[in-house]
Amino acid sequence: MLPSEERPARPAYALYILLLLLAINALSYADRHVFSVLIPSIKAEFGATDSLLGLIGGPGFIVSYVLFSMPLARVADRWSRRGVLTLSATLWSAATAACGAAGSMAQLAVSRLIVGIGEAGGLPPAQSLLADLYDERRRSGAMGVLSSATYVGVVLGLTGGAAVGALWGWRWAFYALAIPGFPLALLLWLTGPRRVRAAKTVQSAPSESLWASARRFWAIPSLRLLALGVGTFNIFGYAAAIWKPAFFMRSHGMTMVEAGSWLGVGAAIGGITGSMLSGFIVDRLRARGEIWQLRVPAIAFLLAFPLFMFMYLLPGGAAVHIGDFRIPGVALLSILTGMMSAMWAGPAFGAAARLVLPEQRAQATAMLVVIINVIGSALGPVLGGVVSDLLTGRFGAESLRISLMSMSILTVLGGWLFWRAASHYPSDLARAARPQADVDAYDGRVGGAKLKEA
Q: What CATH number is attached to the domain comprising 226?
A: 1.20.1250.20
Q: Is the residue at 6 inside a domain?
A: no
State yes or no: pLDDT of 441 exceeds 80.
no
Q: Is the residue at 58 inside a domain?
A: yes
Quick: pLDDT tens for 51-78. Answer: 788 788 777 787 888 889 888 888 888 8
Q: Is the residue at 201 inside a domain?
A: no
H helices within 286-344, ranges in order?
292-313, 329-341
Section 95-108 average pLDDT: 90
Q: Is the residue at 451 inside a domain?
A: no
User: How crowded is residue 44: how many other Cβ atoms within 10 Å of its Cβ?
Assistant: 10
**Model pLDDT, residue 200:** 39
**Model pLDDT, residue 449:** 40
Q: Is the residue at 57 inside a domain?
A: yes
Q: Is the residue at 452 inside a domain?
A: no
Q: In sequence order, what E strands does 207-289 have? A: none
**Model pLDDT, residue 421:** 95
**Model pLDDT, residue 111:** 92
What residue numbers bound the domain in which 409 lies?
11-194+217-445
Please compute Rg for the chain using Cα positions. Answer: 21
- Share the mean pLDDT of the chain: 82
State yes or no: pLDDT of 444 exceeds 80.
no
Share above pLDDT 90 across residues of the chain, in percent, rounded to a whole number: 28
Q: Is the residue at 1 inside a domain?
A: no
Residues whose CB is less than 8 angstroms from the CB of residue 72 and which lie 6 or more positions away in sequence, other chains included = 84, 88, 120, 121, 124, 125, 366
Rounded distance between C-alpha atoms, residue 74 and residue 364, angstroms: 10
User: How crowded is residue 411: how many other Cβ atoms within 10 Å of its Cβ?
Assistant: 26
Domains: count for the chain:
1
Q: Is the residue at 200 inside a domain?
A: no
Structure confidence at residue 195 as a pLDDT band (50, 70, 90): low
**Model pLDDT, residue 434:** 58
Identify whether the C-beta of residue 260 lies closer than 8 Å to the C-beta of residue 158. Answer: yes
Rounded distance between C-alpha atoms, residue 172 and residue 306, angstroms: 38
Q: Which residues of 173-207 are buried (b: 16+ CB within 10 A; e: fewer)?
A: bbbbbbebbeebbeebbeebbebbebeeebbebee
Q: Which residues of 220-253 are buried (b: 16+ CB within 10 A; e: fewer)?
A: bebbbbbbbbbbbbbbbbbbbbbbbbbbbbbbbe
Nearest to 120 by CA among 72, 184, 77: 72
